[in-house]
Amino acid sequence: MSQHPDTQTTDTTDTTDTTDTTDTTDTTDTTEDSSKRLRIVNTFMKRRTHMNKKAELALTSPEFTQYIVNNSSGDGDLQGITDLRALFDDTANGPNAPLTLEIGFGLGDSLIEMAIADPARNFVGVEVHEPGIGKCAYMAGTQGLSNIKIINGDAIKLLQQLPENHLDRIQLFFPDPWQKKRHHKRRFVSPERMAIVTRSLKPGGWFHTATDWEHYAFWMLKVLDLMPNLKNQAGTGNFAVRPDFRPMTKFERRGIERGHGVWDLIYIKQ
């Protein structure tokens, strides 16, 4: 789960990982054609982070390779990853099960929890921080999951090479809000990026995002309400009620205890 660095907390009961999991996608900002790369604007700052032993084991041991689709270190090579459903050809669910893509899953705790709670659904997480990739793969392996795959790389680049109408859900939880006005261009939710996101969703598919930054919440509401082929599940101008299937993290719970608000937005492709 992407969590901005000034509020992120890490579960220290089983790891000392302190990964900065800002919105973990190196994205393309476009003005004419969203499929063409005109100017690259990063929506994250990739930092050197501590790798705990469990994450390192998952990145190096053959027993976890079934979960990591491509190279788990450095810049993810996305070449040839053009069909996420095909990743599940040899699994119990198969390629035709409902498919959710999470952008920037951070350390993977909530993604794993969702995969456990909904075993008939397939999940793909895309992330760029190696400690998070390793920890997520480790948890998937220890739980014996067969409905999850992990990709290292830029989510926008990945979405651009997927077929249209490919995914049932795309989720983006607690992305970096980039509070300063001069950094707003780095925010993931923009008309240009959302055009790329929407293209990959099936009709009736969901885009689900959540944030604890009020300004960013209303920014996203304005952008998403104006997308021509997305419909606000809660009605134009409204935020969604937090759904039970979205796990509440320690990060989110601590924020609520401190009086912080949390806003969910769910949009359906028409």
DSSP string, 221-265: HHHHHT-TTEEETT-TT-PBPPPTTSPPPHHHHHHHHTT---EEE
Instruction: Tell me what pLDDT residue 108 has.
Output: 96
d(CA 176, CA 196): 19
| CA 259 distance to own-chain centroid | 25
Instruction: Tell me what pLDDT residue 43 has.
Output: 53
Q: What is the DSSP letter of 119?
A: T
* The token pair that represents 160 in the structure block: 């651009």
Residue 176 is a catalytic residue:
yes
> Could you count the other beta carbons within 10 Å of the beta carbon of residue 54?
20
Instruction: Tell me what pLDDT residue 49 has.
Output: 65
SS3 269: strand
d(CA 149, CA 140): 9
d(CA 17, CA 19): 6
Instruction: Tell me what pLDDT residue 45 has.
Output: 53
Name the catalytic one among 26, 176, 212, 264.
176
Q: What is the DSSP letter of 63?
A: G
Instruction: Tell me what pLDDT residue 157 has.
Output: 93
SS3 83: coil
Q: Which of 163, 203, 210 is nearest to 35 (CA)?
A: 163
pTM, 2 dp: 0.84
d(CA 14, CA 90): 31
CA angle 115, 118, 122 (to 5 degrees): 60
Q: What is the dotted CATH code of the domain comprising 26-269?
A: 3.40.50.150
Instruction: Tell me what pLDDT residue 39 has.
Output: 53
Instruction: Tell me what pLDDT residue 231 has.
Output: 98
Residue 187's φ and ψ, nearest 5 degrees, are -65, 135
Q: Which of 49, 40, 42 is nearest to 21 (CA)?
A: 49
Q: Say if CB 210 and CB 246 are below 8 A apart.
A: yes
Instruction: Tell me what pLDDT residue 40 has.
Output: 55
CA angle 131, 184, 188 (to 5 degrees): 45
Length of the chain: 270
Q: Mention every residue, 6+ apart, whose C-beta is less than 8 A from residue 238.
A: 232
Segments in the chain below pLDDT 50: 5-38
Q: What is the pLDDT of residues 44-68, one digit of tens each?
A: 555 556 799 999 999 999 999 999 9
Instruction: Tell me what pLDDT residue 252 has.
Output: 87
Q: Say if CB 208 and CB 265 are below 8 A apart.
A: yes
